[in-house]
Amino acid sequence: MRKQWDNSVTAASGGARATQADARAGTPAPTLTPALRLRIGNVEIAPATVLAPMAGVTDTVFRRFIRNLGGCGLIMTEFTSADGVLRAKDKKAKRYLHFYEDEHPISAQLFGSDPKVMGDAARMVEDLGFDLVDLNLGCPAKKVVKCNGGSGLLRDLPAIGEIFKAVRAAVKIPFTVKFRAGWNDDNIVCVELAKMAEDCGLCAVALHARTREQGYSGNARWEWIGAVKQAVKIPVVGNGDIRSPEDACAMVSQTGCDAVMIGRTAPSNPWIFRQIQQYCGRVGTAALDCPVERSSDSPYDEPSEADRYEMIRTYFQMLIEEELPDAVGKMKQFASWFTHGVPGGAGLRKAIYESKSAPEILGKVEEFFEERLCGAGASSTSLRAGLAREIP
Ligand SMILES: Cc1cc2nc3c(=O)[nH]c(=O)nc-3n(C[C@H](O)[C@H](O)[C@H](O)COP(=O)(O)O)c2cc1C
């Protein structure tokens, strides 16, 4: 079933470049690009692009996979219960906080409502070697909101203030917050909240420009990001509905935000960060300093079918190597995002869905792409290299 938030898939097809920027009537041609670099406290983020935390998606495998593709300045864990990480027996919460050296700089995202617990969990995150710690004030899930976590806290600014103070006092690493604009349209608190974060010594704020009530429906209202940027001096990260490099630049132009954060587009188009880098190199007045070579006149590379094959294979192999307990589920989920818009993708999705094991899924992917690429007489080097490798 297509989920409500699963609306970024059109960007993956690589064909039509219908962007949020186009969709926003009156959007001026982008002249500003995501910045060269950004400092959050003492941590340098370069380029100023962030992979949004996504539960069930941004585990260590996906984060490293995105890092390896290039162009992403900061990665974040999926949200993790502060209570859970302090409970010795909660292996799942601890797994969420597992990361490798090549993931730096990396931020750990925590949720919870008890200031003391949040402070203790933040200290644990610091001891584990994370570069930053982030507080989640955006999760709309009922079971989180019920315990006053995630976006539930947006209705209680004084309680948020207590958490800010407790975590700030507990750790030396930069402390940030990611929040929605408010509980609903009658309760927009993003500016007030950002000011409070600044006053409490937080080092940056990230706004997903929707209300809790909105869920993932409608458009993100970037004007709220602009309002927050106007209100504080600490860096502001803009988030919501970036589906293309054009969107990323439009968000920076329209809001003045210091960095862009990308969520749902990443699993359907993992090249988005690299494409932003390429696009900025072409259009930007503040172009990124490490331009990536482009193979065509297009402002950024569109992945070829062979690239897509190589990519999905690499990711699946990484999942298998990591021996995650839910590797099969993740492969199915990812294949479904990633093959939307690929001609014949429905057949592959069905075959994958019916598969029982990780090697079987990998086999289906190979079969599908081999037929398409070799059948079409393709002789891409990356394809041949991909086919030649042993599947574990
Ligand atoms: C599957 C999924 C899981 C998410 N999990 C988290 C999370 O753990 N923490 C968080 O702050 N936001 C989470 N989000 C929200 C995203 O970080 C992001 O704010 C949102 O998707 C809007 O950005 P986008 O339009 O680029 O996707 C999640 C979103 C999705 C789709």
pLDDT of residue 384: 38
Closest CA to 261 of 106, 53, 90, 119: 53
User: In angstroms, what is the span from residue 291 Cα to ligand 1's centroid?
Assistant: 28
User: Ligand 1 in contact with 217 (CB < 6 A)?
Assistant: no
pLDDT of residue 305: 85
Q: Give the mutation target among 74, 177, 208, 247 for probing the ligand 1 site: most ligand atoms within 8 A of CB.
A: 208
The CATH class of 19-283 is: alpha beta
User: In angstroms, what is the span from residue 138 Cα to ligand 1's centroid?
Assistant: 8
Cβ neighbours of residue 74 under 8 Å, at least 6 residues apart? 40, 45, 49, 50, 51, 105, 106, 107, 132, 259
Enumerate residue ranges in the chain where pLDDT < 70: 1-31, 88-89, 282-297, 375-392
Tokens of 85: 């990480």
**Domain residue ranges of the chain, discontinuous segments joined by +:** 19-283, 305-388
User: Ligand 1 in contact with 214 (CB < 6 A)?
Assistant: no
pLDDT of residue 284: 52
| Catalytic-role residue among 72, 139, 203, 257 | 139
Q: Give the mutation target among 54, 76, 177 for probing the ligand 1 site: most ligand atoms within 8 A of CB.
A: 54
Residue type at 365 in one-letter notation: V
Q: Say which residue the tokens 């990124």 belong to.
A: 288
- Active-site residue flag, 139: yes
User: Ligand 1 in contact with 5 (CB < 6 A)?
Assistant: yes
User: Ligand 1 in contact with 77 (CB < 6 A)?
Assistant: no
pTM of the model: 0.87
Supply φ then ψ for residue 208, to 5 degrees. -85, 110
